[in-house]
Amino acid sequence: MLERTFTIKEWTEALKKLRSFYRVFAPFKEGDFHSFREFDGSGSPDFNFGNTRLSAKALIYPQSERMFDYTLDEKNPDVNLYKEAVKDLSPQAIVGIRPCDVKGFRLMKRNFDNEEYRDPWWVQRFESTILVGFGCNDPCPTCFCTSVGGGPFNEEGLDVIAYNLGERFVLRALTEKGEVFLAKAEGDTGPGEDERRKMEELKRSSVEKISSRVATDQLKLKEVNALFSAPFWEETAFSCINCGTCTFFCPTCWCFDIQDEVFGKEGDRLRNWDSCMFPLFTLHGSGHNPRENKVQRVRQRFMHKLKYYVDKYNDGVQCSGCGRCVRYCPVNIDIREVAEKMNSY
Amino acid sequence: MERYTEKIRERARDLLESGKVDVFIGYSKGSVPMMNRPALIREPREVNKLLWDNHCALNLCNYLTKRTEKIGIIANGCNSRNIVTHILENQIKREQLYIVGIPCEGMVDHRAVARAVGQRDILAVEGLGEEFLVKGKDFEERFTKQTFLQRNCVTCRHHNPVIYDEMIGEPVEEGELPNGYADVEAIEGMSSDKKWAFFAQLISRCIRCYACRNACPLCYCPTCFVDESKPQWVGKSSDPTDTMTFHLLRAYHCAGRCTDCGACERVCPVGISMRQFTRKLNKDGETFFSWEAGLTLEKRPPLDTYRPDDYNDFIK
Ligand code: SF4
Ligand code: SF4
Ligand code: SF4
Ligand code: SF4
Ligand code: SF4
C-alpha cells in the first residue's frame, strides 16, 4: 500500500490541495483544547494533541440534524408532506482522528447500519468519509483502549494511518479509499529504514505507556438480573448530577430524540442527540417515567455499555476506552471502576 | 487544611455513631487529579473516605434537596449560603441538618493549573498549604495557591460559613476586596450590539449538556423549563437562539439566589464562564435591594417579597 512522508509544513500544504476533493476536517487548538473544524485553508491544524475534547462523532452524526421539512400551509399543494431536508453529504476527510474514535464509529455502525435498519444519513455520511487516523504516541492517563480490543496504533477501521515522528509525518494507506486519498495528497515517497525503525518503536512504546487496565472478561457470564439488582448502584450513582457530559462526549453513544419545530406555518423535523442520563429520555406521554430516579439512569448507562450490548452483540463492550467520560465527568464517576465492580460481582 | 480532613473524619464518625445523623455528606478523593467526588457516608467505618483539600469546589448543598433523613454535611462559606437558601425555599429543614462548618481558604481552578503546565497530562496534584505541587510523567512544577484560585474565590466575601452547628477551625479573616464586579462593569459599559456579541461568543461552544444547571443547588425544579414539552418553551437542538434562551432563563431563575459558589463554571466540560450572567444579577441584587443571597434565615429574598409600600410604581 501507498506510503508517503511529509514535513509538518508540507502536510499542511497537502491538506490545502486535498480541499479540492474533500471537505477536510482536522484538529485545531482553540482556547484550552482541540476541536475538529473544517480546514478553510487558513491557519494550520495542530496535530500535537492528546485527543480532541469532543470526539469526531458529530461529523457523521450531528448533534442536531434537520431530517425533513414541511409546510402546514393549506394553500400549498405539498401541505403536510415531509420532504427530505437538503444535507451536505459530499466526501469528507477526518484527518487526525484517534484509533479509539474510529472504533467508536465501528461500534455505532451496529445501531445505524445493520440488517434490520439502515439509517440513510448516517450511512451516507459514513460511506463518504475517509478516516485518516493518527496513532497516539503518548496515550492519556485515562485511556484504556487496550483493555477493550483497541490500541494506540490500531489500524482497524482506518483508511490511512499516520505516524507523528516529530519533524515528519509518515502516512500509510490501509484501504483503497485511503490509497486514493494519499495519491491525491502527492508529496514524498515512503519512509526510510531509520524512520521505519522509529515507527516500530513508537508502536511498541505507546502500548507500554497505557497505565489503565480494565477487566471485562466476566461480564458476558454474569446473570443480567443479578447485575441489575446489584447493591453497588446506589453508591455509584450518588454523586451523579445527570448531565449530558458522559454520553455527549462518548464516541459510542448513539441515542437520539426526534423533535418537530414549527415557525408560523413552516416546520422542521429534527433529530438531536439524547442521553439516557436525562429524565426526559424515558418520560412517557402518560406522565409515567420508568426510570424516574438517577440511580436507575446511571445503572442504564453502565448496563447498556457493559452488559446489554455485550450480551446482544457478543463482541465486547460498547466503549472504545477513550477515557473522555472519566476525564470530564464533573463529579468523577469513573467507568473503569464501575466495570471492575460489575466484572467482579 | 490537612488538619480539617482529620477533624471531618472524627466529627463524621462521632455523629454517625451517636445516631445524631443518619448519613454524612462530604467530599472524597476522585480518580482523576483535582476532581473530587461527593460522597454519602452511612457507616462510621467509611469515614476515612472523607477529605478536605484545594479541590472541594462542587456544591454539596446540591445533594440535600428533598432528602428525608438526618444529615451531617460539611459547609464552607458559599455552600452554607446555599443551605440557607435551601431552607428558605423549603428544600430541606434546618432541624434535619447538622452542619460542620469549615473556614474556607479558596479552591484551586483546575483549568488554570492545566493551562500552566501547557495542557500536559497531570498525574497528581499535591500539597495543601500556600503552595501545591503538580506532577506529570516527566515534570514537576510548584505553584502558589493564591495565584490559582477559582475566579469566584478571588472575589469571595464570605469564606466562613454563615450557618453551622459547630466550626472545625478558627474563622479566616474576610479581607478587604478591591472592586469585585469590575468584569460586570466592563460588560455594562458595552453597547447593546457589543453585549449581544459578547454573550453569543461566550456560549458559542455550549453543547447543552446541562452540567451547569445540574451542578447548581438552585436548580431543583421537578421539570426544568427546558425539559417541558407542553408547552415547549425552548427548542432542544443546538440552535444558538435556543442555547441563548436556556442560558438567559437559567440565569434569571437564579436571580437573588445565586451565591457565586462557582460550581456551574467548574463543571462545564467546554469551559464556558456562564457566571458572567449570574454575576450581573448578583450585582443588581446588591445595588437595588442591598441583597446578597443566603446570608440570613430571618429575611425573605427580594424576589419573593411583596410590600404594600414598595416605592416602585409598576408593582402596585
Ligand atoms: S456520570 Fe458524570 S458526566 Fe455522566 S451524567 Fe453523571 S455527572 Fe454527568
Ligand atoms: S464510555 Fe467513556 S471511555 Fe468508553 S468510549 Fe464512551 S466516553 Fe470513551
Ligand atoms: S449509554 Fe445511554 S445514551 Fe449511550 S447509547 Fe446507551 S442508552 Fe444511549
Ligand atoms: S448559579 Fe452557579 S454560582 Fe450561582 S449558586 Fe448556582 S452553581 Fe453556584
Ligand atoms: S455545562 Fe457548559 S456545555 Fe454544558 S450546558 Fe452548561 S454551558 Fe453548556
Q: Is residue B86 a part of any domain in this protein?
A: yes
Residue B273 falls inside a structural domain:
yes
Asked which of B158, B177, B196 is the last residue of a domain, the reply is B177
Kindly state whether residue B222 falls inside one of the protein's structural domains.
yes
Q: Is residue B221 less than 8 Å (CB to CB) from chain A?
A: no
Asked if residue B215 is part of any domain, the answer here is: yes
Answer whether B269 sits within 8 Å of A330, measured CB to CB: yes
Does the residue B119 lie in any domain? no
In whole angstroms, give the CA distance from residue A27 to residue A308. Answer: 33
Residues B154 and B239 in one domain: no
For an interface test with B, give the residue of A298, A331, A341 to mutate (most B CBs within 10 A). A331
> Who's near A288: CB < 8 A, 6+ residues apart?
none
Claim to verify: residue B209 and residue B165 sit in the same structural domain: no
Residues B67 and B208 in one domain: no
The shortest CB-CB distance from B121 to any of A33, A140, A336 is to A140
Alpha carbon separation from B304 to A194, B65, B78, B104 (Å, rounded): 74, 20, 21, 30
Shared-domain flag, residues B21 and B163: yes
Q: Could you tell me if B172 and B183 lie in one domain?
A: no
- B62 inside domain: yes
Contacts of A337 in chain B (CB under 8 A): 31
**Residue A244 Cα, ligand 1 centroid: separation in angstroms?**
7
- Residue B97 structural domain: 1-109+149-177
Instruction: Per residue of chain A (345 residues), give pLDDT as tens.
Output: 899 999 999 999 999 999 999 999 999 999 999 999 999 999 999 999 999 999 999 999 999 999 999 999 999 999 999 999 999 999 999 999 999 999 999 999 999 999 999 999 999 999 999 999 999 999 999 999 999 999 999 999 999 999 999 989 999 999 999 999 999 998 778 889 999 999 999 999 999 999 999 999 999 999 999 999 999 999 999 999 999 999 999 999 999 999 999 999 999 999 999 999 999 999 999 999 999 999 999 999 999 999 999 999 999 999 999 999 999 999 999 999 999 999 999
Same domain, B187 and B246: yes
Contact A337, B31 (CB under 8 A): yes
The total number of structural domains that make up chain B: 2
Interface check B271 vs A, CB under 8 A:
yes
B216 lines ligand 4 (CB under 6 A): yes
B235 close contact with A: CB closer than 8 A: yes
Q: What are the Cα distances from residue A192, in Å, to A3, A5, A179, A189?
A: 11, 9, 19, 9
Q: Are residues B189 and B155 in the same domain?
A: no
Q: Look up residue B45 and give its three cell numbers.
A: 467505618
| In a shared domain, residues B223 and B166 | no
Which pLDDT value is given to residue B229?
A: 84
Residues B81 and B160 in one domain: yes
Bridge partner residues of A262 (DSSP): A267
Report the alpha-carbon distance of residue B79 to residue A157 in Å, rounded: 48
Distance, in Å, from the CA atom of B243 to the CA atom of B307, rounded to the nearest integer, reads 35
Q: Which residue's CA lies nearest to atom 6 of ligand 5?
A: B212
| Per-residue pLDDT band at B316 (split at 50, 70, 90) | low
Residues B27 and B6 in one domain: yes
ipTM over 0.90: yes
B153 and B292 fall within a common domain:
no
Amino acid B313: pLDDT? 79
C-alpha angle A15-A16-A17 in degrees, rounded to nearest 5: 90
Interface of A with B (CB under 8 A): 31-33, 50, 53-54, 63-64, 138, 140-142, 235, 238-239, 241-245, 248-249, 257, 259, 261, 270, 272, 278-280, 326-334, 336-337
Same domain, B37 and B159: yes
Q: What would the grid cell of residue A139 be?
A: 496515550
